[in-house]
Chain A
Amino acid sequence: MTVAALLERLDIDARRVAVELNLNVIKKAAYQSAVVGDGDEVEIVNFVGGG
């Protein structure tokens, strides 16, 4: 599954998050091509309130 497909399945707005795949930040332009496979570690972050 691509990163784009994963975000869509999770109902996450791709424009407002950052995705890390096995500790590498995936550029937004690469969401359609980057593939998440079995055993991969994915981090999905967004902005929350902070000081």
Chain B
Amino acid sequence: MTDLVIAGRTFRSRLIVGTGKYPSHAIMRAAHEASGADMVTVAVRRVDITRKTESLLDYIDQSKIFLLPNTAACYTAADAIRTAHLGREAGMSNWVKLEVIGDEQTLFPDNEGLLEATRVLVKDGFIVLPYTNDDPVMCRKLAEAGAAAVMPLGAPIGSGLGIQNPNNIRIIREQARVPVIVDAGVGTASDAAVAMELGADGVLMNTAIAGATDPVTMARAMRLAVEAGRLAYLSGRIPRKSYASASSPLTGVVGS
């Protein structure tokens, strides 16, 4: 199975995982290991100067795991651009998972702001991975604007609803000239497998693992699902048919 390559950087795993909402940093670290992921997302937030807190980075082995800062909770292109620049200085890498959110309830992206921020950040030298709607036209525009990959949502962030519009994900994959990472909406392993079977180059998830009763075992399930889905995609599935087609010979049946 070939590696995932984004902007010339090679990842052994096609599963990208988050670092939020785990019961503890120790469980997060164990889940990361079980997931096999070699890229994890992080958020950029103000340092709490009123109390000394444990650093998330003490629980991420950066010799094995690449950090992808996000611009979560940014509602304008300007805020996302500002956050991306801060993330770059904090992490000393020019990669960003770009989020420009348009609605508090659904956390759906703001297409206009997302495209604008992508253009600016690409010009500023960033490797931009935009979190976008499952819209093939929007994905095309983002790729044309210089996005290194497109990350269409499977369903709303944290919803666990699974891939709501599989046909769009398939079309996005067929048309995109950049890697397609299904980002958000996965609830359980089969959802991740479906994303990969549709041809996605990778899957990004946080809540599905961090929020599971046993995050470490779920992380392993996701690893296997992503691998299984990828292999199934590469193998060329059989066509769907409405009626049966016998697997055993129709000749030599006893009693005939």
Contact = CB atoms under 8 A, between A and B. Distances in A.
Contacts, number: 96
Interface of A, helix, strand, loop or mixed by DSSP: strand
A44 B5 CA distance: 33
Contacts of B18: 49-51
Interface stretch (B47-55, B167-175, B187-195): B47-55
Contact of A27 (B42, B43, B49, B89): B89
Given A43-B46, A44-B46, A51-B157, A13 B55 contact: yes
Interface string B8-34: 000000000011111000001000000
Contact of B41 (A18, A43, A45, A50): A50
Where chain B touches its partner, the secondary structure class is mixed
A41 to B, nearest CB: 12
Contact of B206 (A12, A47, A50): A50
Contact of B69 (A20, A23, A43, A47): A47
Given A13-B55, A25-B85, A49 B90 contact: no
A17 B82 CA distance: 15
B22 A16 contact: no
A23 B78 CA distance: 12
A44 B43 CA distance: 14
Nearest to B18: A51
Interface in A4-34: 10-13, 16-20, 23, 25-28
A45 B52 CA distance: 14
Contacts of B82: 20, 23
Contacts of A10: 47, 49
A47 B89 contact: no
A19 to B, nearest CB: 8
Contacts of A17: 47, 90
B86 A20 contact: yes
B44 A47 contact: yes
B83 to A, nearest CB: 8
Given A18-B89, A25-B86, A28-B89, A49 B56 contact: yes
Given A16-B90, A18-B89, A47 B72 contact: no
Nearest to B206: A51
Given A46-B47, A49-B42, A50-B18, 19 more contacts: A10-B49, A13-B55, A18-B90, A23-B82, A44-B47, A45-B86, A46-B45, A47-B44, A47-B91, A48-B19, A48-B42, A49-B18, A49-B22, A49-B43, A50-B206, A51-B19, A51-B20, A51-B158, A51-B207
Interface of B: 18-22, 28, 41-47, 49, 52, 55-57, 67, 69-70, 72, 82, 85-92, 157-158, 184, 204-207
